[in-house]
Amino acid sequence: MKLRTIALLVAAGMLAAPAQAKILISEVLYDAPTNDTTQEFVELYNDSCTAVSLSGYNLMDNGSTFNLTGTIAGGGYFTVAKSASGFNSLFGKAANQAGMTLSLGNSGDYVKLRQGTTEIDSVAFEGAISGWTLNAVDKSVARKNVADSNTQNDWQVSTNAGNPGSGLLNANCGGTGGGTGGGDTGTINLPTYYVGTTGKTGAELKATLNNLLRGHVRFTYAQVWDALGYTDEDPTNTNNVILLYAGRSQAKTFRAGTSTSLDAWNREHVWAKSHGFPDESQYAHTDLHHLRPADVSINSTRGNKDFDVGGTPLTESPENKTDTDSFEPRNAVKGDVARMMFYMDTRYEGGDDSGTPDLSIPNIAPTGSSAPQMGKLCVLLAWHLADPVDTFEARRNNRIHELQKNRNPFIDNPQWAKAIYGSQCPGV
């Protein structure tokens, strides 16, 4: 699978104009196999490459309106169910949103997707709208393609009650489309997400970003295994993850806890957890933006060392170097490491409900294992500038947004690193 080259259209702190999201109704189960009051669902599809908040969108039939919540990933599906338990019982999975109040008539009805009062898309069945004769007892009706002629020609009757959360639709974002949303990206355009940042710099910009990044979904440490299997998935082999420091593709199942091999992978805290958040109850402990799959033995060598230049090449992976108090990752991920560190410093400023102290990046190494600090600032800024954002990193950011509901602003807007930290590193 070949990922589309990312275009970061940014200049002087300004984001490019947003690409128009195209949200479609993709599947409807209106005449359920057992119980309409618990098994009906509507599925949506995002035919753009950028995650979209569904706030302000609603579903409407000939009897009522239901407001949508949540975020639909770029190239992803979003299921809205009458009942969480009924949906899970029928399909063995959780819906993205439950409690839908529409009662879809079995003798003719329609579903309309609206943004406010503006109709975005619609589907009808059993003559509720002229020309719509779809009749699907115990089966769903499903969209055949992303072309939208607003006619029955775009739709077909499924062979079963449906397959919510997956399908044939493809947003052409460089992934396969379908599934739970590829998280791949074309142009990064999120002005609505980064509201209030225009014209700001330095501490003011950092404070605004901190406010935007708060309130994300928190995972347990056990849940991180599966999350990393998705966020760091090998684009060419969905059974594997890419290891941060080693750079190799490795089976998701070949990990610590299931294997004692030193070549297995584990959950690396890029901002070492001993530097400020040793307890799982602290949000930073399980923040996906700085957790990466890493070779067990290389991760052990890195330990909780600060990031800096120099040291002896690792025998197992000589592109990485280490000495007594610092670690230098391979060139291909130096920028990735730097942007993860900048995210952590910006997200965790203390004074919120995350249980995490104010993290900071001083221009020193070592910083001390118990201090809520990681260095070395000006080295990290140089790495950020030398190793720009690539497609894998951008894709990972989108997938984390899909799961955790916040983003790394230094991936979306690389110029913000110098805007915030540049005054402390005049020679960089």
The region of weakest confidence among 171-175, 244-248, 275-279, 306-310 is: 171-175
Q: Which fold has domain 20-157?
A: Immunoglobulin-like (2.60.40)
Q: Is a pLDDT exceeding 60 seen at residue 183?
A: no
3-class DSSP assignment, residue 321:
strand
For residue 254, what are its two tokens? Answer: 């070949």
Express each pLDDT in 192-226 by its tens digit.
789 899 999 999 999 999 999 998 889 999 999 99
Residue ranges of the chain that CATH labels 2.60.40.1260: 20-157
What DSSP assignment string belongs to 108-131?
SEEEEEEETTEEEEEEEETTSSTT
Task: Quickly tell me which residue has 């007892």 as its tokens.
Answer: 137
- pTM confidence score: 0.60
CA 365 remoteness from chain centre:
32
Count of Cβ atoms closer than 10 Å to residue 207 Cβ: 12
Confidence of residue 337 (pLDDT cuts 50, 70, 90): very high
- Tally of CA atoms within 13 A in the half-sphere of 262 that contains its CB: 6
- For residues 205 and 211, what is the distance between their CA atoms, to the nearest angstrom? 10
Q: Which DSSP helix (H) or strand (E) runs through 203?
A: helix 202-213
What DSSP assignment string belongs to 261-279?
-TTSEEEEESS-TTTT--S
Q: Is a pLDDT exceeding 90 seen at residue 73?
A: no
In whole numbers, what is the pLDDT of the chain averaged over residues?
88
CA-based nearest residue to 174, from 185, 166, 165: 185
Q: Classify strands 97-98 and 77-81 as parallel, antiparallel or unpaired.
A: parallel
Task: Quickly tell me which residue has 């974002």 as its tokens.
Answer: 173
Amino acid residing at 102: L
Express each pLDDT in 16-53 by its tens digit.
223 345 899 999 999 999 999 999 999 999 988 778 88
Going by the DSSP 8-state scheme, the letter that residue 373 receives in this structure is B
Count of Cβ atoms closer than 10 Å to residue 424 Cβ: 13
Express each pLDDT in 103-151 by its tens digit.
999 999 999 999 999 999 999 999 999 999 999 999 999 998 777 888 9
- For residues 9 and 154, what is the distance between their CA atoms, to the nearest angstrom? 34
3-class DSSP assignment, residue 335:
helix
